[in-house]
Structure 1
């Protein structure tokens, strides 16, 4: 049956790039985000090819398996379309696109995914990432070599391990089926959103309960406020809910909405890309699908980076410990220039150091037994000694002791 709910789609160039290589689609049963990559018009063409190939799937399905098979077949066919296009226009060599697609079939969401665009599910005030990024850094996260937070800022975070491109006619696409229910909010987005807006901020916007269009606008504002260094494409799908079902024609956004469609422009003479000599670069590519040997170089580089981090951390720790040790030594050395007079059991003693301790380490020790018994002192002097008498130096300490001579000896 036709999906019961509401949806919205939008796409924005962002604040840095001069053209929009993303495409998005929001229909009656089908919802798609495709993030294109490549030089002169390459990403535009690739993401447009994906959306226009997939939009034929926007109709009710008899079963979830039928929808899953249709998605898988259409995405693989898109890879063939990209290869055929590059054969006609070799200057577009290296172009490709991610695809994250969702088809609603009764109470189920049928999902197909390749690349680093994402599909999220917001349910019961919790946001869950449903798809897995097919990126180099995600492999590092999965292997425990870096944390998800480190992955957000890793210099190789845009290196894709799987993508629809002109190198693989039979790409590996993730497909799976999930139950959905009224009140669910499905978010499909390119990394122009999830790469700069964290999940906590996204969840807060989704929790506001705005209509899909208003929610998409609010999410876009977050991306723009964060600098929007890449194109931003958002498709939001509400299952049932309080907002009215939006009927009518499908919404196509981004490069796929261009009236000239996927017409490939002529290559411009001049500079060529270092990666693909025949491809012109209007914008620096936002993604790159590495060859196996390049992947090995990346892995080695990451290992070297990890070793450098360990060396820097250990060096920093050693320097901090050395500074602490130097400070302690300087403090101890100073303390050993100080003296005071105190009592040791029943006699008067000159102590070297100060009357403090660091944990179990005392900062003073008995320096000289005076031979004067506490019992021979006046009550006043005995009380002073028991409470200790500070001295400026050793000679000062001895003068203080001389003034403590027993009264009877002084009288004689």
Structure 2
């Protein structure tokens, strides 16, 4: 945790990840969150390099438009620097990073954004998302293919369509200039917060904790309470009547706060960024031809792939259910046939009979029936024997059942 005047920056590794691939910055005029990707291929390096390059724009600008141009140019320069780094260190092939940055100038803010980190504005107690996620599911939402609720649980909700990295020399970066006023509270965060903490809880934390540091602490705690499966980085910026002081120290958190190292060990194995975009938590490889950022053909290809997988899952479920149902039917038939191989002797009204099956019923299904009636009458049997017959006498097979009847007949004759 660190603070800088009216702002605060926090970065936490989370409860699952082994290292922090996020970087955050709270300066005098500039505020940044960068979420590295690429796993062991260098996500931490990517976010640190990008953030340190963009930090160079933390200086006063006479107009917000100049600030926007400088900020967007800094992101483009960071993208080139990442490509150069990969050229010098091939073991880092596949690294990339999202960036959400905000630069204050002339009573306004210039915003530059790429990826799925976010910028929010709390104004008059109402939270509004300023940036749009550059993700596969957001494209589906924007095109009307799925709803926002479906996007939240979509299996490809982590697929990024745009990042800074070593695959696109001129990535499309969103930028704009927005008005800001005293009382505004700005939030920059990685998806370690926005993917696991609801907007309602984010809004509540920003409203209920007046100090930037306390609000940032609370937001990180909310993510940790959800298990924090990802790194989480938060930068909170308050706007008031007091101008920012150039003497306020800039604050760097996350991987950018650590020494930059390029370790070419087995852990940093070379993987391709397209595979990481499609499967962020797996380092499986993907052919270059299958990666076409922001193209309709690529989007249609992913949609068709999702449909094929959904169809295959349905077929697999149907086959599995059919196999289970067939197994149950076979077991029932086999069980019934087994019961019909058994015999016992019991009372059938006033006479004694040989029964086939077992002395039980399953609902309306009877598992026994009279196999053979006899002339032996219950009243002719001694009381003890009659009681035994009424309670039924089990037989090992049909021949044994007939022998029991013969013994009963012989007892009567005596």
Which of the five TM-score ranges fits, normalised by the shorter chain? 0.5 to 0.7
- Distance change in 2, residues 1:245/1:193 (3 Å): farther
The answer to which of 148-157 and 128-137 deviates more is 148-157
Name the CA distance, whole Å, in 1 between partners of 2:161 and 2:274.
18
Name the CA distance, whole Å, in 1 between partners of 2:264 and 2:61.
40
Segments of structure 2 that go 5 or more residues without pairing to the other structure are 316-414
Note if contact 1:79-1:165 (Cα within 8 Å) is conserved in structure 2: yes
Name the CA distance, whole Å, in 1 between partners of 2:273 and 2:6.
43
Superposed displacement of residue 39, structure 1: 3.0
- Distance change in 2, residues 1:230/1:284 (3 Å): farther
The aligned counterpart of 1:297 is 301
Superposed displacement of residue 111, structure 1: 0.2
Which of the residues 257, 265, 268 maps onto 1:267? 265
Name the CA distance, whole Å, in 1 between partners of 2:314 and 2:147.
15
Superposed displacement of residue 283, structure 1: 7.0
Please give the residue correspondences for 1:116-155 in structure 2 after superposition, counting only pairs within 5 Å. 116-155=116-155
Superposed displacement of residue 160, structure 1: 0.6
Name the CA distance, whole Å, in 2 between partners of 1:270 and 1:82.
16
Superposed displacement of residue 101, structure 1: 0.3
Please give the residue correspondences for 1:72-91 in structure 2 after superposition, counting only pairs within 5 Å. 72-91=72-91
**What number of residue pairs does the alignment pair up?**
302
Secondary structure in structure 2 of the residue aligned to 1:23: strand
Note if contact 2:113-2:173 (Cα within 8 Å) is conserved in structure 1: yes
Superposed displacement of residue 264, structure 1: 1.3
- Distance change in 2, residues 1:246/1:214 (3 Å): farther
- Distance change in 2, residues 1:140/1:270 (3 Å): closer
Note if contact 1:17-1:283 (Cα within 8 Å) is conserved in structure 2: no
Superposed displacement of residue 310, structure 1: 11
- Distance change in 2, residues 1:138/1:77 (3 Å): same
Please give the residue correspondences for 1:13-412 in structure 2 after superposition, counting only pairs within 5 Å. 13-40=13-40, 42-240=42-240, 248-258=248-258, 260=259, 262-268=260-266, 273=271, 284=282, 291-292=291-292, 295-304=299-308
Superposed displacement of residue 143, structure 1: 1.1
Secondary structure in structure 1 of the residue aligned to 2:6: strand
- Distance change in 2, residues 1:91/1:295 (3 Å): farther
Name the CA distance, whole Å, in 1 between partners of 2:232 and 2:173.
23
Name the CA distance, whole Å, in 2 between partners of 1:242 and 1:173.
31
The aligned counterpart of 1:6 is 6
Superposed displacement of residue 40, structure 1: 2.1
Superposed displacement of residue 276, structure 1: 8.4
Note if contact 2:42-2:268 (Cα within 8 Å) is conserved in structure 1: no
The answer to which of 301-310 and 110-119 deviates more is 301-310
Secondary structure in structure 1 of the residue aligned to 2:214: helix
Secondary structure in structure 1 of the residue aligned to 2:116: coil
Superposed displacement of residue 186, structure 1: 0.3
Superposed displacement of residue 307, structure 1: 7.1
Q: Deviations over 1:66-110 (max 9, x none)?
A: 111111111111111111111111111111000100001121010
Segments of structure 1 that go 5 or more residues without pairing to the other structure are 312-412
Name the CA distance, whole Å, in 2 between partners of 1:39 and 1:6.
33
Superposed displacement of residue 152, structure 1: 1.5
Q: Deviations over 1:136-172 (max 9, x none)?
A: 0000111111111221121111111111010011111
The answer to which of 234-243 and 223-232 deviates more is 234-243
Name the CA distance, whole Å, in 1 between partners of 2:85 and 2:224.
33
Superposed displacement of residue 26, structure 1: 0.2
The aligned counterpart of 2:354 is none
Note if contact 2:167-2:273 (Cα within 8 Å) is conserved in structure 1: no
* Superposition TM-score, scaled by structure 2 size: 0.67
Note if contact 1:41-1:265 (Cα within 8 Å) is conserved in structure 2: no
